[in-house]
Chain A
């Protein structure tokens, strides 16, 4: 499965890569902000996206809105420090399928990935 990791922190992308690799995902692409991600989705064609919210140049929420408006249908999990309920609602309205609040354990991220993919497969 092809997974796009969108986060301005290389540390966070590396942590996510480690968890995804243990889950058996080996086709991983990285983007350092929303603009970078937009430039990569057409060619990489991800089947799952993990997206941070607060990033320079283009934030994650704006990216998700643009990705959806351009016809992107793959599941998106927002992985962010933005934990307020109003933010979660805003993200879901923008087209986010699931939500992980930083800090997170490997088990939490793994569980959210599995439940997101299961949910989308059943839809």
Chain B
């Protein structure tokens, strides 16, 4: 996958976590996810439509997700609290929105978020999509960002 599709997400992850959680993130090297592997426990999912079509999944172990939500909301919320999923959804919304703004010249829409809570679940997209996994670590633990895109013929320019 052309790096021009991934670079915006790398920048957006750091920006969202540093601005809203005051938490620096070490973003690892993006790798192609060729086969389904057990995921984490909490996933926020956003769909992208238009000139860039695909999904963005922010996936956490439960402990990391709960710490992230505490920093984000200022309240300690367990994964089964009714407001927990809302907070995870807003995080993936901001990561996706920040990335899509960098697809210069592309008309891209994003969906409202969906959140899955369940031990070691997998998130499957359409078979035609290519999935890139971006491993991240920070002081509260590790998490992944998975970007699955239907690849067009030309890469976007980024600003």
Binding site for B on A (CB under 8 A): 8-12, 14-15, 18, 54-56, 80-84, 101-105
B157 at the interface (CB under 8 A from A): no
CA distance A103 to B72 in the complex (A): 11
| Interface pairs (13), CB distance under 8 Å | A11-B73, A11-B90, A12-B90, A18-B74, A54-B93, A54-B112, A55-B112, A56-B112, A83-B97, A101-B101, A102-B93, A103-B19, A103-B94
CA A119 – CA B80 in complex, angstroms? 44
With both beta carbons as reference points, the residue of chain A lying nearest to B19 in the complex is identified as A103
Interface residues of B in 3-56 (CB under 8 A from A): 15-16, 19-20
Residues of B68-96 whose CB lies within 8 A of A: 72-74, 83, 86-87, 89-90, 93-94, 96
- B156 on interface, CB distance cutoff 8 Å: no
Chain B min CB distance to A104 (Å):
7
Which residues of B are at the interface with A, using a C-beta cutoff of 8 A? 15-16, 19-20, 72-74, 83, 86-87, 89-90, 93-94, 96-98, 100-101, 110, 112
- Chain A nearest Cβ from B17, distance in angstroms: 9
**Residues of the B chain whose Cβ atoms lie less than 8 Å from the Cβ of A10:** 83, 86
Residues of B within 8 A of A8 (CB): 112
Once the chains are docked, how many angstroms separate the CA of A56 from the CA of B114?
12
Q: Give min CB distance, A96 to chain B, whole Å.
A: 17
Contact B97 A9 (CB under 8 A): no
Cβ of B21 to closest chain A Cβ, rounded Å: 9
| B97 x A82 contact (CB < 8 A) | yes
Alpha-carbon distance between A18 and B112 when the two chains are bound, in angstroms: 24
Smallest CB-CB separation from B111: which chain A residue? A54
Q: A9-B86, A9-B87, A9-B89 are in contact. List 17 more A-B contacts (CB 8 A).
A: A10-B83, A11-B73, A11-B83, A11-B87, A12-B90, A15-B73, A18-B74, A54-B93, A82-B97, A82-B101, A83-B97, A83-B101, A102-B97, A103-B15, A103-B16, A103-B20, A103-B94
Q: Which residues of B contact A18 (CB under 8 A)?
A: 74
